[in-house]
Amino acid sequence: MIRRRVALVGWAGVAVAAAGLAVAILLAAEGRRPGAGRRRPAAGAGTGDVGIYGFHRGSLAAERRMEAQILGLPAVENVERHARVLSSEPHVAGTPENDRVARYIYDRFKEAGLEVTMKSYPVYLGYVTRAVLEQVVPERRVLSNPEDPIPEDEGSADPRARLDWNAYSPSCDLTREVVYANFALPEDFERLTRAGIEVEDRVVLARNFHGYRGGKALEAQRRRAAAIVFYSDPAEDGYVRGDVFPKGPWGPDGHIQRGAAVFDFIVPGDPLTPGWASLPGARRIDPRESEILPRIPSIPISGRDALTILKALEGPVVPRGWQGGLPVTYHLGPGPSRVHLAIDAAFETRDITDVIGVLRGRDEPEQKIVLGNHHDAWVYGASDPVSGTATMLELARVAGELARRGMRPRRTLVFGSWDAEEWTLTGSTEWGEENREDLALHGVASLNVDSSASGSRFGAAAVPTLRRLLSETLRDVADPKSGRDLYSTTAAGASEEQTSFAALYGSAASAATSAATSAPSVTYDILGSGSDYTVFFNHIGLPSLDAYFEGPYGVYHSVYDGYAWMSRFGDPGFLYHTAMVRVWGLLTYRIANADILPFEESPYPADVLAYLSDLEREAKTGGAQPPDLTEARAAAGEWQAAAAVVDRSVAEALEGPRPGRKALASANAALMKAERDLLAAAGLPKRPWFRHLIYAPLPTYAAETLPGLREAVAEADAGRARSQSALLASAFRARAATLRSAAAALTGRAEERVSR
């Protein structure tokens, strides 16, 4: 899993309401009712219940009673127990240990009262049975050293965690000189070329972060490098940041970041069934035909071992910004450091197992909200993904208890515990592809929580229509430490200088302009890739979000991401794991129970218009021919006008007489369809699995906006740029028509209003 961070506008108005809610939130979280007759200030609307977007005023009392249960029922001791059990042994996908984790999840879902299935898929996985890296010139030193056992962390001595490897690396036995390539981004390789240093037939040494390792491997492969070696530099996640584990949260100098080096930004899922479900008997391509399997080997090592290479490199001193935190002046090479790399890879088809728990809705059971988390880990995975799994299990228990108390949701909840996410987002992709037609008709939203806690700062990535839902939810959940509402603490924290794990991945291609407000507001990321919402958002078109609490997290994908680190530094007391149960629960039930689906439309076309301006400006700045965006802008303007109409119609319907059932059903069907209007049936050029016209991941996993058009402009393909611009205009007009139909249903043209 990799998260993305880029500033985008939140719903600033909730800051006005948040301060007055803290006492009520705390009382509700403790299971006590606020004082009778308590009045809550609304955002810009005087006194009275602040309301919940999507709920008719006649539904608010029942919803508030149910939400008090969601805030009060989660038990930190349950979450802590799940976290301890699930992180008790290494559990890589395709192993017996991971099967035990899946069975544990199955049993907990059963106890919660969910309908549970274990769905297996035979998929192509690439393991490594032996990986050795050693420097042979100027001095012989072994560089593929396992992480040191730490007495305070019993799991760090487990022999099952001693091998350091990258999934899908091919076998090799080679000896080559080394070139240092900074973060191995395209611009880094171009800088080397300008300096007269080629990487062809050499080993590339690259720092982790500021991009996905698979994207770095692809860049090295394109330049005919012999291999790529990834290492964790203390400037990003080690002693330069602060105290290291076991004294602090940052990575010790011997920690290693494992991971896959596959190209799943082209197409995720089983590499041999690209675009269709990997079911028994399914057609499978030859591995040599796969676009996403790397052709060059790779291996991860520690910063401590990378220091040996960096000390031995000569050539020019690195340019500004390339010097890391190790105690040596960095040089580019090539050589005289020469390394020997030997990898024995084992590629085989193994079963992976998703665990699916379903809570049927009482009124619209065919409509589905997908709650996602994965359960496979690189080692123990206390943060990634066990924190999210522990949160999901407690939310499932709360949902089951609500159903037993007669508070079953209107719409169906699907709890998806996915397998093999760390490989190619595999389990979620295969399940999504298998259920694509049903989800395209009946999918309401995808709410993903991968790593729910590695600190105390809330963050989320979301489609623009879900920002208001997020902000209103944060308003109604207490921060465990301060007692203030999470919206206020998140907004305040955003104004401070922070060093976060997600920030290490840089910014995406474009960002929307902020709303005009003097009050601090929460901003949300845009969706790139790197977690299990990808198939539901980029391929099927469900409005999606990914939420987490983050902080100093220096043990990502290392042996030290275990219970000891989490209980001491990531989330002592497991308070933020439990806070995420409340956040995820309110998000889920506000969609599941809403009279009108809480998808605020107006921010979306505003963002898209900003993306169009960004693209045009960047083309001019870069010397490219700007595309003719006249038609696309006009269509986006139609979408913006329709958005204003539907948002106004929703507001009036929620405040006035309750619309009739048929009117609500028609409006909600249109709101469910709207995201699908932004999909291209043929997909994006050169990677047709990705069908969303507004967002797609770059090789870094960062979000690229207007990807089909942007890539055509970057490649100076005027014809493709024209066709992509026309495709965007058509999608914008289709969405505008869909929104107008939703507004028509709510304004009484589809059915007379009734009062209930």
Positions annotated as catalytic residues are: 421
**Backbone phi, psi, residue 75, to 5°:** -120, 120
| Cα gap 452→391, rounded to integer Å | 7
Q: Are 528 and 697 in contact (CB under 8 A)?
A: yes
| Cα gap 675→68, rounded to integer Å | 31
Cβ-proximal residues to 257 (8 Å cutoff; 6+ apart), any chain: 208, 230, 232, 300, 556, 557, 558
Token pair, residue 742, equals 């939703």
| Cross-strand pairs, 300 | 230
| Cα gap 261→501, rounded to integer Å | 19
Omega within 30 of 0 (cis) for the link into 159: no
| Cα gap 198→333, rounded to integer Å | 10
Bridge-based pairing state of the strands 364-374 and 259-260: unpaired
| Cα gap 105→100, rounded to integer Å | 9
Q: Which of 561, 557, 565 is nearest to 164 (CA)?
A: 557
| Cα gap 453→449, rounded to integer Å | 10
| Cα gap 264→266, rounded to integer Å | 5
Contacts made by residues 436-439, CB under 8 angstroms, sequence distance 24+: 436/539, 436/540, 438/368, 439/368, 439/370, 439/536, 439/540, 439/542
Residues in the chain: 756
Write the single-letter amino acid at 319. P
Supply the DSSP symbol for 676.
G
Q: Which of 120, 416, 96, 121 is nearest to 271 (CA)?
A: 121
Element (H, E) at 390: helix 387-404
Q: Degrees (nearest 5) of the Cα angle 144, 146, 152?
A: 155
| Cα gap 315→191, rounded to integer Å | 14
Identify the three-state secondary structure at position 423. Answer: helix
